[in-house]
Every structure is written in C-alpha cells, then in structure tokens.
Structure 1
Amino acid sequence: MNISVVIPLLNEKESLNELYDWIANVMQSNRFSYEIIFIDDGSTDDSWKTIQQLSQKDSNVKGIQFLKNFGKSQALHAGFEKANGDVIITMDADLQDNPNEIPELYNMIVKDGYDLVSGWKKKRYDSKLSKNMPSKLFNWAARKTSGVKLHDFNCGLKSYHKDVVKNIDVNGEMHRYIPLLAKNAGFTNIGEKVVQHQARKYGETKFGMDRFIHGFLDLITIWFLSRFGKRPMHLFGALGVIMFAVGFAFALYLGIDKLFLNPAGRLITQRPQFYIALVTMIIGTQFFVAGFLGEIILRTKEDKNRYLIKDELNL
C-alpha cells in the first residue's frame, strides 16, 4: 500500500463527507493505493455515524472510535499503530489542510528521501493577532530549543516514512513536537514544504489561547526528556552532589572556625551560615535521591494503555 492518511477529529461531522471525497479524488487521479483512517477522539456529534457510512461505501475507509476524548496525540498514536502504508500522511479534519498537497508530500518521502516532511502554512486565513503572535513566538522557541529548523511545528499536514511512525511514541500532548521526537529517535532527514491553508468552512476551532501555554510547557518537558529522560541521575545526581558539597564546605568552615580560630565566639547554631549549610546539604541529598529513584523507575516501569478504543471499522 502506498499511502495511509491518518485523520484525528473531534466533532467534525459537517466536513467529513467533503474531506473524504476530496482525498479519494486525489488518490484515484494519482493511482495511489491508499487507506483513510479516521480517529474519532470522543466526538459528541454524529461524526462516528458519518465514518460508519463512509466505511460501508468504501473499504479503504477505516475508523477508530475512542471511548472519550483522550487528545490529539493519543489519536495520532492509535492511527500510527494501525497504518499500513509506506508513507503516512496526517491532516486535520476541518478542511483547513489541502489534500492536493498529498502527491508532492508523498514524492518528497519516496523520491527525495526525507524521513519526515512538515507543512508550513506560510499564508494563513486565521490571521488574528492574538493567535499568530503567540504562534510565532512558540515556533521560534521550539526552533531554538530543539535545533529542528521548521517554521510551523503545529501544522497538522505532515508526511512520514513508515519507519518513523512505527518507532516514535506520541503521548501526552506531544503531537506538536513529532519532528523533535523523530530527530531524537535518529530520523534526522527532516524537510519542510509550504502548503496551502484553507479557511475553516464549518464549525469553530477546538483550540484556544491555552494551547500555547501548554505548548511551551510541553517544549520544556520534551527538552528535558530528550536530554535526561534516560539518565535522570546525570541531572539530579550532579545537582545533588554539587549542593551537598557546597553545604558540607560551609559546615566544615564553621567547624574549623569554632574549634581552632574563634573558640570563644558565637555558637555554630547562632550563625546564619549554619542553616545555609544544613538546608543546602538536605536539598542536595534530596536531588540525589530523586535521580536515584528516577533510574529505578526507568528500569521497572511497564507500558500502560493511554486510551480506550470503543469501536473499529475495517481494521
């Protein structure tokens, strides 16, 4: 199979039939063998009923229904697990991503040898200052922190070689950072393509300003995990040793000063340096123990399901 199109969605009933017709027309006109995997992330409208109707009409349409809303990252993870294509295309279900971009995104993986190609919505139709300015700041911070030179990390329209999606773990709200997850897994040939952005035709956006706050917090998380996720002792242990050493040096100085240099002076417990030394050694010990416990947890953890699937179609 050439292409798997993975589409997470939440309450997008109005756009699904039009999106399916558009994708199917592109696939058939380019003679691709394909599958379209819709992941219903706990919709409360008739989205799942529409997906059922499409799957009955076309066996290339497949569906996954979550028991409740688990989030876009979990939806993508479920879609990646089921995808059978050599190239996987992800896009949003709101018709803002243009399926006509699929052939070139496919060729950039197959012919140009990219591991991952991310879309860049250079010209947008949701040009609200309150949305675009935080987005630009977020993308700038992501580039500087990750070293991945993309203009639009959050663009849902991306293409992947199948080896990428089968070897990365998308969890939490890390869908924004799939290029960084791919880079950390060793897939470094990451490209970018300017893609056409469509104005939203139905409904309203599911994202508010809080997504940028969450995005920055996730960026800090993934930076930490990429550097210290497999060796927490390197961070916490080092901090613990340094702080304990500083505290011990303070305590040693106070002891020498009291015993040999100024025996008639104030009691050690009456000097503020004593409490600085005590607190620093305690915090250093706690950091060291945190790193030690982190190493133990990494070696004993078991994978757990992050979402519950209610129903599947054609899978």
Structure 2
Amino acid sequence: MAQPEISVVVTVFNEEGNIPPLLEAIYAALASIAYELILVDDGSTDRSVEKMKALANEHTRVLIFNKNYGQTTALAAGIDHSNGQYIVTMDGDLQNDPSDIPMMLDLAKNEDWDVVAGRRANRQDGFVLRKLPSKMANWLIRTTTKVYLSDYGCSLRIYKAHIAQNMGLYGELHRFIPVLARQEGARMTEVDVKHHPRIHGTSKYGLSRTFKVIADLILMLFFQKYFQRPIHIFGTLGLLSFAVGVLVNIYLLILKLLGEDIWGRPILLVGFILVLGGVQLITTGIVAEIIVRTYFESQNKKTYTVKAIHQGGQKTT
C-alpha cells in the first residue's frame, strides 16, 4: 500500500453518539486525499468500539486500549501507528470540524510549515467553566514558555510526521504539544478553524484539571530549559543550599570556639538540613529523570497496551 499523504488520529472515550456523524464528516472531508484514519479508543465503557468497528472503512484502523490511559497516551499510540507524511490530531467529540483539514494541509504544504495549529475563532463553550479558564491557561503557557500560540486547547492540528513522532508524549502533556514541537525545532503557525457545540455525550474537562495544568507546566518549563542540562537547575539549587548550610555551620563553629554552647539551637539543625538537602538536590532529581527515560526509551517500552487493532473493510471472524 502506498504511503498515505495524511494520517488522522482521533482519540475517543465514551463518544458513541458522536461516532456516526464524526466518521461521516471525516470520510466526506478527506474523499479527495490519500489518507488513513486511526481511531484510538481509550477504554470506552459504552458502545463506542462497536460503532467504530461497524462504520470503519478500508482506510480506517481502530486501536482498542484495555483500559483508560488518558488523552496523551491515546495520542501517542495513534501517532506511533501512523504512516502518513503528515499527521492530523483531533478530538472525537465532533466539536472540531474535519472540513478544515484540507485547508490546513494546503497551508502546511504550500508554506512549508512543520505545524499548523487550529484556533477556535468562535468557540462554542460556556464562558465561566470553559472559556475563562482556557484563556487564563493560554496566557500563562504563552508567558512562561515563550511559545506564542493563542489556543493551546484546540486539538485540531497538523504536523509533519517526523515532528509528531519525536515529541515524546508522556503523562498528560497533550496540552503542551506545541511546546514539545518547538523543542524539536518546528516552525508553526495558527489558523482559524470552525468549532461546534457538543451535541452528544459529556465533556471530559473541568476546573479540576487546573492543578494538573500547573504541575505539567512546571515540568514543561524544566524540559524546555534544563532537559539537556539538568545539572544547571539541580546543581544551582543544590550548591546554593549547600553553601548556605556550610556558612551556618561555620558560624556555629566560631561560636563554639568562642566558648558558647550551640547544642540544642534550631539553627544547628537548619545548617545540617541545608547541607544534606544540597547534596540530595544535586543527585536525586538527576538520577530519577535518568531512570524514567532509560526505562521507557532504551528498551523501546510504551506507556500503553493495545488490546486489539481492527482494520476497516475486512470481514471479522
């Protein structure tokens, strides 16, 4: 089979009501493009898998997880199984419009962009629970990472395959995919795309994700600035702590030599804690990061398990 021009990766979790209109819209939008469609079921408990299997055409594969791993892992699985020259990502809730894909593909090809990101020009979501937190998160991510995109929450994006396949998606970093792409040297742009209100199912997002976003942002800032030189952050903090601890202990030693009793003073404990903490900062963080990366990457391990793959257009036995 010839290499498809694009691979469309759609993550699905309990979207049975959206599957028929979603696939109909995708098939219509991509009729004139050599494509493959990869539907990743992230452990749905409704009839999503049944609907996808029934409606999958010869261009479609359904990846079925054995449990719910989260959107980032589902995206990583879809990208790993992609063969296209370009990779498109989108949600399975039908709020993204597949009819925007040909326009975004033309833009990526004609102007040689590595990433074309969608920007929801007329977002169809509630203001207080969705739009306002999203605007705040977008501002915070732009300000801290210096990757200036307007809409980090829009899942509809198109990537050159080598960019998408080398981003290293772990945990819940799907919100920061543009930052990961920029770390790969990607040239990116934004374009307005259509956005529809959710008709079927319920949203998987809420205010509870705020703390996760902040925690992931701290991790992304570390990856962005110190991933290739972690000693610069851990070493700086460790040496600072160690130096302050040494100064405290020298001060106490001088007092001791002058005949003062230093035993039982809280500052004595602080001095020892700062010295030991400095040593641990230099070593523990670096070792932990190396262990995690070595475990997954050197052994080519994945963070997910695919239970089954269904190829559309074939009879099942």
In the superposition, the TM-score normalised over structure 2's length comes to: 0.90
Partner of 1:34: 35
State how 1:140-179 maps to structure 2 within 5 Å: 140-179=139-178
Matched, 1:22 2:19: no
In 1, are the aligned partners of 2:255 and 2:262 still within 8 Å (CA)?
no
1:97–1:197 CA contact under 8 A, matched in 2: yes
Aligned CA distance change for structure 1 residues 299 and 126 (closer, same or farther; 3 Å): closer
Q: Which residue of 1 aligns with 2:100?
A: 101
Contact persistence 1:234–1:291 (CA under 8 A): no
Equivalence for 2:209: 211
Secondary structure, in 3 states, of the residue corresponding to 2:18? Answer: helix
2-structure distance, mates of 1:215, 1:83:
27
Counterpart for residue 75 of structure 2 = 76
Report the alpha carbon displacement of residue 73 of structure 1 after superposing the two structures with TM: 0.7
Give the residue type in structure 1 aligned to 2:149: L
Mapped to 1, the partners of 2:294 and 2:102 lie a distance apart of: 44
Q: Shift of the alpha carbon at 1:248?
A: 1.3
Which residue of 6, 9, 13 maps to 1:6?
9
Decide whether aligned partners of structure 1 residues 32 and 42 sit closer, same or farther in structure 2, where only a CA change above 3 A counts.
Answer: same
Give the conservation status (yes or no) of the 8 Å contact 1:135–1:212. Answer: no
Q: Per-residue CA shift, 1:148-181, capped at 9, x if unaligned?
A: 1111111111111111112111121111111101
Tell me how far 1:299 sits from its aligned partner.
7.8
Task: Give yes or no for contact 2:94–2:196 (8 Å, CA) kept in 1.
Answer: yes
| Alpha carbons of structure 1 residues 15 and 272: separation in structure 2 relative to 1, 3 Å | closer
| 1:299 to 1:54, Cα distance in 2 relative to 1, 3 A | closer
User: 1:41 and 1:12 mapped to 2: Cα distance?
Assistant: 11
1:79-101: per-residue Cα shift (whole Å, max 9, x none)? 10111111211111111111111
Q: Partners in 2 of 1:270 and 1:312 — Cα distance?
A: 66
Give the distance between the partners of 2:9 and 2:50, measured in 1 at CA: 18
- Cα gap change, 1:65 to 1:286, in 2 (>3 Å): same
* TM-aligned CA deviation for residue 123 of structure 1: 1.4
2:296–2:302: 8 Å Cα contact kept in structure 1? no
Give structure 1 stretches of 5+ with no counterpart: none
Of residues 268, 283, 290 in structure 1, which corresponds to 2:262? 268
Letter in 2 for 1:23: I
Q: Does 1:66 align with 2:60?
A: no
Q: Distance in 1 between matches of 2:293 and 2:101?
A: 41
Structure 1 residue corresponding to 2:306, chosen from 306, 309, 314: 309
Q: Which amino acid aligns with 2:231?
A: M
CA distance in 1, matches of 2:11, 2:286: 39
Query: Displacement of 1:297 after TM fit?
Result: 3.0
Kindly provide the CA deviation profile for residues 48-95 of structure 1, in whole angstroms up to 9, marking residues without a partner as x.
11111123xx21111100001111111111110111111211111111
- The structure 2 residue matched to 1:192, chosen from 190, 193, 206, is 190
Larger Rg: 1
Q: Do the aligned partners of residues 299 and 211 (structure 1) sit closer, same or farther apart at CA in structure 2, a change above 3 Å counting?
A: closer
* In 1, Cα distance between equivalents of 2:75 and 2:21: 21
The CA deviation at 1:146 is 1.2
- What are the superposed Cα offsets for residues 189-223 of structure 1, whole Å, 9 maximum, x if unpaired? 11111111111121221222212321222111111
> What is the Cα deviation at residue 128 of structure 1?
2.9
Q: Using a 3 Å threshold, how does the CA distance of structure 1 residues 302 and 89 change in structure 2: closer, same or farther?
A: closer
**Maintained 8 Å contact 2:42/2:70:** yes
* Residues 230 and 301 (structure 1), Cα distance of their counterparts in 2 relative to 1, 3 Å cut: farther
How far does residue 270 in structure 1 lie from its aligned partner after superposition?
Answer: 5.2
Deviation at 1:36, TM superposition (A): 1.1
How far off its partner does 1:43 sit?
A: 0.8
Query: Does the Cα contact within 8 Å between 1:231 and 1:295 map onto a contact in 2?
Result: no
Q: Give, in whole Å, the separation in 2 of the partners of 1:59 and 1:299.
A: 37
Residue in 2 that maps onto 1:51:
52
SS in 1 for 2:9: strand
- Aligned-residue CA RMSD in angstroms? 2.0
1:250 to 248, 260, 263: 248
The 10-residue stretch of structure 1 (294-303 or 40-49) with the greater mean CA deviation from structure 2: 294-303
Normalising by structure 1, we get a TM-score of 0.90
